[in-house]
Chains A and B, each alone.
Chain A
Amino acid sequence: MTWLGAVPALPGGHGAAHVDALLLTAFDGVEADFVCTHIDRLGPVAVTALSAHVTGEVDVDRLSEALGGPVVVLDSPDSPGIPDSPAARAARAGRDRTDGRCIRFPGQSTLTGTHPAAEVVAGSAIDRVVGIGVPVSPTDRVETLGFLRPLCQDGELVLLVEPAVGGVLRPTEAESPHECCGGH
């Protein structure tokens, strides 16, 4: 039971959902109930880092190889001996839920259809469903479209939703947003 952080090597030119799938593939064989991505902006160029809560044994070398980057394990609550790095910062942010975008969390697999907001909270690690510009009542329907990316904010896991066609709420992050053009 520990939190780890990593700075994975990412393929360019693909959508976030595609990257998420690659990251989760690297966790094949690793028991992890929370996996989040974090954006580390302390360097000259923003870097995507990752945190994960590992519930079983983990072969750090193998995971590091699968992710294509360094992995840091927080072995005690304060982890005083671990030098500051993007991976360590990600691990702490995930552990404390101060920041991050959750790509795996308990209850995620049961929330693939349209569910009342109350069920989203009751049946998963999501603490709150927050509407953009609209209040959310427990009976309001959340159309997940099989893709949920709640955010860590102030120690909570928050799902941001917004009104969508059909009188439902949809998560603000969509799996396949408009493909951006450009010549890359």
Chain B
Amino acid sequence: MSHHHPHDHTHEHHHEEVEGSWRDGQDDRPLSVARRRFLAGLGAAGVATTLGATPAHAHDDRPATPVNPWSGRGRWYAGDHHIHTKYSQDGQYEVAQQVAKAREYGMDWLVITDHGSVAHEKFSIGQITPDIEQARRSHRDVLVYQGLEWNIPGAEHATVFLPPGRSTVDILQAFEAAYDGALLSTPVANGGKGLITRSTSADGEPYALAALRYLEAQVLSGRTEIALMFANHPARRGVDSPHEFRGWRDAAPDVAVGMEGAPGHQAAGIRKADGGNGTGRGGYDASPNQDSFPGYAPTATENPYRTYGGFDWMTAKVGGLWDSLLAEGRPWWVTATSDAHRVHQDTFTPGTGDHGKTGSRGAPIDTGTPQVQSDYWPGFYSSTLVGANSKSYVDVMRGMQSGKVVAVHGRIIDGLNLRVRSLGEGDNRGVTIGGRTFVRRGDDVEVVIEVDLARGANFAGMVPRLAKVDLIAGPITGPVVDRDAFSAPATKVVKSFEVARTARGTVKFTHAFRGVEGAFYLRLRGSDGNKLTSDGHPVMDVIGDADPWSDLWFYANPVFVDVI
């Protein structure tokens, strides 16, 4: 079912709190109590779960309210939470260069995330802080967050960032000193702590949980308004076990909120014959190592160590790891970033500074000759669209925390307006991306999807054409028994909407889930349709032959639907 629809439309919805409904906190009918307890993370049957924390959206004994209520067409702010500079040993750019380029390519917000290391903690932070302050002054229309690419002890890397504040730098530095996997695994003789075997070895896992609790404590104590963590390139080396994701999420649910759905380095798979690097898209060309989770071993049917349509396998696989987390009924959001270290066809190369001794590569060198590299500038290819109340540091982070996030490649869409609501008793106003709504058992749930198609060319100079939108849904089955579970077999593509070739502007699709009997979640993804399996799924990217511009996808974050 597909049709083109004019941009504007009318709608009706109920704003009022309804006395006597489930939302009435005075209502002590068992159903309402059970419903509130469910939202408080205690499960519909009131059985205490084994989880150590309540969900981010819990409202304890107050009446539950929908999360991310639908409120018409919101504003999207495009950004990138994973950017390197000369303060990374494998980076090269000035902060100012990255911010200027990101602004040129339409970014509203950025996070500077140089790698944690002994030298970074010791020498880089003091240098990068004034550079970031200067960049903010030079580009007042771009939010420039100070962050860190944290070596998660026992696992991969992650973006950690805070809004600007009096204690921001102190918190980041203390965090890195105490909890970065590189510092923890570096021998004392070399300036580290020598407390864990390797940055990725399992003896680091408790430090990762302590680190996230530390960040949460900084929020609770008021030293910072908010702090967020996103796991980066999660499947690249297979070292992020399913139980580690669950552990991070449950240790600090308001801090550890998601992962890169798509890694950076999207130019890496361009064919050598076309002037590219000819390696694995996303830099995903590894195979298992001793710290990899054995369940991710490649098989005859899939290779988790590769990207699929440019997205990480954990996100791209329907019914895979991401869905396994979502099927627990708890938030976990996906993003898309550049991971820009060295930009493909840019003429700069790293400076001659000794990063290990100074914390900086020094000023980059302009060779005048385009270099064959793997990355794009922030905003050039990958965008994380965030729905926020305003373009302010805290509001954009709140938008990310609440999951109002869409991961977009190559401008395959300009925006997305999703409304999910009960057509019977329940939340008739409905919620949008990242939200949580409710319906009375047996009633219908309506999904209205409005996609803003690209109104102009992307940075490859072509106007991308969205070919289809998949509506994916699966039951909420509650907390897993096996914390290393990474499949949600009941999650499926329930409907694929074809986008007419002639479609322009905004296209609208609707779908109804009839007679809903159990809690479920739904999410959207869309594709240019160029590379699909026979089932309509993304194709595993071919090593050395993956033109990112001819295989574009977007992934939107889920909406949870509870049943009362």
Residue positions of A touching B, CB distance < 8 A: 12, 16, 39, 41, 44-48, 130-133, 149, 160, 162-166, 170, 172-174, 177-184
Contact = CB atoms under 8 A, between A and B. Distances in A.
Contacts of B119: 183
Given A48-B290, A132-B299, A133-B301, A181 B543 contact: no
Given A45-B202, A132-B299, A183 B120 contact: yes
A182 B157 contact: yes
A41 B202 CA distance: 10
Contacts of B120: 183
A164 B545 contact: yes
Contacts of B284: 178
B301 A164 contact: no
A166 B266 CA distance: 20
Interface residues of B, number: 55
B118 to A, nearest CB: 7
Main secondary structure of the interface of A (DSSP, over half): loop
A174 B285 contact: yes
25 contacts: A12-B198, A39-B294, A45-B197, A45-B201, A45-B202, A46-B202, A132-B302, A132-B303, A149-B287, A160-B298, A162-B543, A163-B542, A164-B543, A164-B544, A165-B542, A172-B287, A178-B374, A180-B236, A180-B237, A180-B286, A182-B116, A182-B199, A183-B115, A183-B119, A184-B117
A47 B185 CA distance: 16
Q: DSSP class of B's interface residues: helix, strand, loop or mixed?
A: loop
Given A165-B278, A182-B151, A173 B287 contact: yes
B182 interface: yes
Nearest to B282: A178
Contact of A181 (B88, B185, B197, B278): B88
Given A132-B540, A165-B272, A183-B119, 20 more contacts: A39-B294, A45-B202, A46-B202, A46-B290, A132-B302, A160-B298, A160-B300, A162-B303, A162-B540, A163-B540, A164-B544, A173-B287, A174-B285, A181-B90, A182-B115, A182-B151, A182-B182, A183-B89, A183-B120, A184-B199
A140 to B, nearest CB: 14
Interface centre among B117, B286, B299 (most CB of A within 10 A): B286
B186 interface: yes
Contacts of A45: 197-198, 201-203
